[in-house]
Structure 1
Amino acid sequence: MVFFAGVCVGQYIRGNLTQLSIQQVSIANCIFETYYEFLLIAVINALVQSFKRRYQDLNCTVLTVFQETESVEKWPALAQDYRILGETVDMFNEMFGWQIVLIMFHFGLEMVSTLYFNFHVLVEKGKADLVGRLGNFSLCIWILWNFLSIVLSIHDTHKESRKFIGLLYTMQDYFEEGSMEIGALNRLVSYSKNFAPKFNGAGFFSINRAIIFSLLANVCTYVVIMFQIDFNETS
């Protein structure tokens, strides 16, 4: 409902400013492609959240198993679950890697377009009505929210996955050095490190919180460039 409300407001504003019909505005704004992207983002977030919950369950299971006595034979099963989750993340990267690349690219373009439209058309062209400003500001926030939802969900999932390795290291403090349990834990750590999840965009970049500032910096750079080009043309 929020998506459709935002789309309708955006169409209304751009239709009034450009004197185009609803059909023409819909075609120009690629509304159907935007709706497909909205659904794709929802699917990606749902999958990433499921990975996060599975890693959380695995970490809780680790604590439960290590509290039991004579449960060394259960430890390899934990590493196997961790391996399966890591391989599932690799499959996720193969299925949605290129989609994530295009989504990130589209986010950048939409942010640049929205900010330029907000400052240039609504202000400099003398059409700075309240509805127009609120609509474009809402659209900018909506784009940024979708971008942050993907990146932060992936970051939280990766954080939960690292807790598994951290728990294995922590459990070594409860056993005597050189014991059978310490040897088993060292083998589990070495094995599990090979299957740590790595979210990426089709192999071009890793997805983490650093990409947020990278995208925002690029958006600001291109907005400034567009203003400079526009200023040179008018002068």
Structure 2
Amino acid sequence: MNFKLSLKDINFLAPMFWYLGFFMVAPWYDFHSDLLTKRTLCKLYGLFLALLRTGTSVYSTTDETFTQIHQNIVLSRKILFLSVHISSLVFILLTILKCSFWDVKLWQTMITNFRYIDTKLQNTGKTEQSVFKNFYCQFFATQCIVFLIIAHTAFNWISLVDTNPWKILLFGGFIETYITSLMTILITTLARVFKVRYEELNIELVRTTRRQKFDTREVVSLSKIYRLLGDTVEIYNKIFGYHLVLIVLQSGLQVVHCLNYILELTTLAEDVNYRLLFWSFSVLLWTLYMLLGVILVINSTMQESRQFINLLYKAQEEFADKSEDMEVLKRLVSYSKNFMREFSAAGYFSLDRGIIFSVLGNVATYLIIAIQLNENRNEVCHNVINIIE
């Protein structure tokens, strides 16, 4: 396994796919032979993991210890906790089933397309010399942060709940949290893969159009690569469309949950538990980081995609209106426009910067509702105390 390959060579994903295969976040894929491997075993393993995840989720809702915890928390946090738990379970099951049963061939088509594009752009075998720009250095750093957050969360649960620590670790939702973060990182990484290739395509187009001897065949070749990238974006949308819907939904719920818990700790509790407060802020910041990472990378990738069309328009300025090269460029603009694709969340909405403000608006709305529920609970408690007195 080559850990020094650049993002410009799709084979850099080989070590990551090998690791993600243990969690069924990615299918079992052999990058050397460009084939899906052990299909039957992969399906059986995926079915086993899906049943295991479902079983642990059901157990966590029926276990006496977890039931008592849910009964003692305020209504708003109970609703938010269950919402996050259900969306997380759906996300995990969708991930496992899509990698083992559904859309498995689409993964192979996507990687094959990238391989062809890398060959045409002469990026096969390119390595990354900078340690900090190396993908696996960045991946290792993010994994360390995730493990620290999960470890801190587990420590808080174990110290607060009087039960077997292994029960907390196995059924407390930590595995689901980790798998969700892995899939989010994979989605973001593949969006970066698109961005790098659109950037390379734009650089090659500028070089071609600025040469003294303009060769329309090279521009036609670049337009074909642009078309293939657009087709690959469509495959990306089919594979990860519903994942993106759930990431936006789950991130919004998690942000509301964290903010509500922070307000509860600082206003309702008699003594502020700074350890839990720190945990809430860390989860909040990590959730926002992952969500913004996906949206901003996809948004910048779309800008690079549109830049290719703009460069074709600018290239027309160098030629007379009725020249043959001008006519070729006009046809290529029309051709390329048909293959400019947007990253879509299963067709429900496009992933651009505007979605950030939509999420923030919904977070503000539901946070106000949660605060009102907390205030109503406080009033009821005070009334009950006054009646008893």
- TM-score, scaled relative to structure 2: 0.58
Q: Choose the corresponding residue for 1:53, options 192, 196, 211.
A: 196
Instruction: State whether structure 2 residue 364 is matched by structure 1 residue 220.
Output: yes
Instruction: State whether structure 2 residue 279 is matched by structure 1 residue 135.
Output: yes
Partner of 1:67: 210
- Alignment deviations for residues 210-229 of structure 1 (CA, whole Å, 9 cap, x no partner): 10111111111111101101
TM alignment of 1:172-183, pairs within 5 A: 172-183=316-327
Partner of 1:196: 340
Partner of 1:208, secondary structure, is coil
Partner of 1:159: 303
Name the CA distance, whole Å, in 2 between partners of 1:228 and 1:19.
31
Partner of 1:89: 233
Q: Which moved more, 1:63-72 or 1:30-39?
A: 63-72
Cα RMSD of the aligned pairs, angstroms, is 1.6
- Alignment deviations for residues 121-157 of structure 1 (CA, whole Å, 9 cap, x no partner): 3541124132222221111000000000000000010
Q: Choose the corresponding residue for 1:9, options 146, 152, 162.
A: 152
Q: Which moved more, 1:209-218 or 1:17-26?
A: 17-26
Structure 1 residue 8: Cα displacement: 1.2
Structure 1 residue 103: Cα displacement: 1.4
Partner of 1:100: 244
Q: Give the % identical residues.
A: 33
Instruction: State whether structure 2 residue 373 is matched by structure 1 residue 229.
Output: yes
Could you list the runs of 5+ residues in structure 2 that have no partner in the other structure? 1-143, 380-389
The 8 Å contact of residues 245 and 345 in structure 2, kept in 1 or not, is answered as: yes
Q: Which moved more, 1:30-39 or 1:148-157?
A: 30-39
Could you list the runs of 5+ residues in structure 1 that have no partner in the other structure? none
The 8 Å contact of residues 58 and 78 in structure 1, kept in 2 or not, is answered as: yes
Name the CA distance, whole Å, in 1 between partners of 2:220 and 2:306.
18
- Alignment deviations for residues 17-67 of structure 1 (CA, whole Å, 9 cap, x no partner): 555554454456411111111110111111110100000000011011112
Name the CA distance, whole Å, in 2 between partners of 1:214 and 1:108.
10
Instruction: State whether structure 2 residue 169 is matched by structure 1 residue 32.
Output: no
Counterpart AA for 1:234: N
Q: Which moved more, 1:92-101 or 1:29-38?
A: 29-38
The 8 Å contact of residues 265 and 273 in structure 2, kept in 1 or not, is answered as: no
* Bigger RCO (CA 8 Å, 6+ sep): 1
Counterpart AA for 1:166: N
Counterpart AA for 2:175: F
Partner of 1:118, secondary structure, is helix
Size of the aligned set, in residue pairs, is 235
Partner of 2:131: none
Partner of 2:237, secondary structure, is helix
Q: Choose the corresponding residue for 2:292, options 148, 159, 166.
A: 148
Counterpart AA for 2:341: P
The 8 Å contact of residues 251 and 291 in structure 2, kept in 1 or not, is answered as: yes
Cα 1:77–1:91 change in 2 (3 A) is same
Partner of 1:77: 221
